[in-house]
Structure 1
């Protein structure tokens, strides 16, 4: 009889916090201020956009925290949708994330980190492609070891990335000489100036990624307790960091200069504070930050593929756990290979591919937020409601409703601005149906 190998429950609250913070905070916190400012039209409205996006994200995290506490399974969003709406909807959720979004976003992050690294080292831009491959291989190798190694690396990189964030906030607050509030952007309206709604949309995309914590629930020591805490505290810290850095930059530089500098605004603040050393130190901090984000993606996404394979909806080899490390080795290697292939052969298209997948993912987010109402109603009907022992989203039903309306706003805005991309996204989702029917028949999945 073959020995049953299970995922190792070794991750606690600190690993959870590091995954939430480290996965969300990549490079966007250092580059998004000018874009949001242009759309919002003034520094006050830009800060309000970041805060509004943060409130919506926190409401979403509170909602998923309750769903996750009731359904503490490995697989995250796939497992939630599968439990709530059945295997077809669950499969399409995982299909879009594992086959399209995961390799695309990993390749995109690795490619951008590699480009910054090439600049930092004075190498030619063409060298960025092999640096990207090295970065992906590096995080794959870390994740093939015991999960505590990847979790430890996540804690380390998250701690390091918080240093430049704290410096930018501190310098802006205490040494900035510009009024952070009330500055107006005086410029000719362009296609980039989308208004307050578009500014909020940009912040919501910058806040995205926190839900990946749910993918590793099966490896947390106490997921019913630690998953909600990690989500809530982690998202709260991220919101504080985004709003804080934005306020610090607005307090240090006039808005017209921020718009003119675009992605170089935070570098200008760092160079003002510490000279050329500050700019290079910030570049290094961003590279480390992106490596942490890369590791978080590689830690989370293969667990979804593993859960789907366990349910008989993906190739069986993806459900294999290595006896020594107790991690889904084949799933990790497969996601890594797909990302490397994209990084090598589809460099110019990975950003667009990941953008296309986001619309479909937000459809499944919306469905998961409705899950709070479904699970509460079901528990009440069958008499199994144990709200005293489970995490309960506060201010119910306000929090899940805020999350739902925020998600609908994202979907509506995307449809209005990119109907072609939306159509491609939906087609990519539907392409998963024949694959689902094949594996359901092959493995006799009856659920």
Structure 2
């Protein structure tokens, strides 16, 4: 994994510097956050969250709490992102705060677990809702679902490899479409409430959930909110990041939180809690009762939503892999950029391949637990990094600064979300996550710390470079 010499592989010493361009403006930044957050979660998570809380009051409270926690986390990330303006989000923050090993561990776990599993969940959800529009009587074949999910991964990867402008345009358009779908659900719920369908809220009390069940309920809710930090992965491509990064967060996340709460209330005006719990596709059940002959609109709308979310996820995932590889912490070829399109094509394709493997061998529920347990370990570390940098890096400019209680609250919440499920109901997914982390730590010693170079990697890199028309990043980004 040692970095290969650039001067013999970049097409000559006279080549122009190659780097990612600043093309993500304020509207695109808002669309990236909203488009990534509003994916499959709000259409499938309400059932699991309600089942784990066993109470309408607690479920709505968890939805609001998840929005508040995501907002606090994003505001803390805004300080980190405007202070450390390199792309890569947590990777770059850990490099400055803790040094290379924690940064490498995040890049390893994110590349192998976090981003691919996130993409796999979204594309499997997309497959379920696409098939739902055509499967009227019999349940869809699991093989067909996996095949559509794998194809979807390939399609969004191709889009992001071809053009940054194309990817952001699709994100903007699909963001509008998914907000339209959310509006239809909210309007349908409001119509039912006007008709007097509010009896379910009069008897909404239930038993208090255990600490473990409450934590996994947060897993379901926070999965729907995940993506609040995706804009930090593309800081180098944001126009005026010191202004547009925090402003995008302040606009996007409250908008998403409001939408989620209103959508859940709308669901409950049409379905009882028990009906929601047994429904495999809550939005489809809602649409069949509200839209009648036009019920096909709902699975189509959800499919559009999840496709846009998959597009935003692979867009951000490729940038993390690109930055970590540029620092020599992953395979060197993953830091290369397509000569004409200026997209991190190898990093995008690498993520896609792992996601396709996870789709082939996994399921949505297991992947959500796998993802959530792992990602909140590193969200907590990011909050600790922010607190540490307040003490150790006084000289770094902070164009945006959050109150001290913000990272402290998120840090305490992350500790709870990691430990409570293990104590209350340990699952095999948590063990898999820990094993992958241990494997990454073992690989760090020979290939990163001691820079052992495998002799065949140089030739493979050159072959891939020629076939895919790639060039190495020949200059550091302007921060």
Q: Flag whether TM exceeds 0.5 (same fold).
A: yes
- My pick for the range that moved more, 129-138 or 94-103, is 129-138
Query: Which segments of 5 or more consecutive residues in structure 2 lack a partner in the other structure?
Result: 1-12, 454-479
- My pick for the range that moved more, 293-302 or 398-407, is 398-407
What CA distance in whole angstroms lies between the structure 2 residues aligned with 1:424 and 1:269?
36
Q: Aligned pairs, how many?
A: 431
Residue by residue, what CA displacement relative to the aligned partner does 1:193-228 show, whole Å, maximum 9, x if unpaired? 965555344322322222222111111112222122
Paired residues for 1:9-20 under 5 Å: 9-20=22-33
How far is the alpha carbon of 1:301 from its aligned partner? 0.7
Going from structure 1 to structure 2, the CA distance change for 1:266 and 1:415 (only over 3 Å counts) comes to same
Give the corresponding residue for 2:386.
Answer: 372
SS at match of 2:133: helix
Give the corresponding residue for 1:415.
Answer: 422
Root mean square deviation, CA, Å: 2.6
Give the corresponding residue for 1:207.
Answer: 225
SS at match of 1:442: coil
Residue by residue, what CA displacement relative to the aligned partner does 1:338-365 show, whole Å, maximum 9, x if unpaired? 3234434x2x357535632432321111
Give the corresponding residue for 2:336.
Answer: 320
8 Å CA contact 2:212–2:421 kept in 1: the answer is no
What CA distance in whole angstroms lies between the structure 2 residues aligned with 1:386 and 1:341?
42
8 Å CA contact 2:279–2:285 kept in 1: the answer is no
Paired residues for 1:298-309 under 5 Å: 298-309=314-325
Residue by residue, what CA displacement relative to the aligned partner does 1:361-398 show, whole Å, maximum 9, x if unpaired? 21111111122222222343xxx2544xx1122xx122
8 Å CA contact 1:104–1:351 kept in 2: the answer is no
What CA distance in whole angstroms lies between the structure 2 residues aligned with 1:44 and 1:386?
43
How far is the alpha carbon of 1:144 from its aligned partner? 0.8
Going from structure 1 to structure 2, the CA distance change for 1:268 and 1:130 (only over 3 Å counts) comes to closer
Give the corresponding residue for 1:181.
Answer: 201
Paired residues for 1:292-441 under 5 Å: 292-344=308-360, 346=361, 348=362, 352-353=366-367, 355-380=369-394, 384=395, 386-387=397-398, 390-393=399-402, 396-416=403-423, 417-418=425-426, 420-437=428-445, 438-441=447-450
Match of 2:132 among 119, 124, 135: 119
How far is the alpha carbon of 1:6 from its aligned partner? 0.6
What CA distance in whole angstroms lies between the structure 2 residues aligned with 1:226 and 1:112?
31
- My pick for the range that moved more, 306-315 or 262-271, is 262-271
Residue by residue, what CA displacement relative to the aligned partner does 1:45-77 show, whole Å, maximum 9, x if unpaired? 221121112111111111111111111111111
Paired residues for 1:38-437 under 5 Å: 38-122=51-135, 125=141, 126-176=143-193, 177-179=196-198, 181-184=201-204, 196=214, 198-259=216-277, 261-278=278-295, 280-344=296-360, 346=361, 348=362, 352-353=366-367, 355-380=369-394, 384=395, 386-387=397-398, 390-393=399-402, 396-416=403-423, 417-418=425-426, 420-437=428-445
Going from structure 1 to structure 2, the CA distance change for 1:124 and 1:46 (only over 3 Å counts) comes to closer
How far is the alpha carbon of 1:441 from its aligned partner? 2.6
8 Å CA contact 1:110–1:294 kept in 2: the answer is yes
Larger helix proportion of the pair: 1
What CA distance in whole angstroms lies between the structure 1 residues aligned with 2:119 and 2:51?
28
Going from structure 1 to structure 2, the CA distance change for 1:46 and 1:361 (only over 3 Å counts) comes to closer
What CA distance in whole angstroms lies between the structure 2 residues aligned with 1:229 and 1:87?
30
Going from structure 1 to structure 2, the CA distance change for 1:326 and 1:231 (only over 3 Å counts) comes to same
Give the TM-score of the pair, scaled to structure 2. 0.83
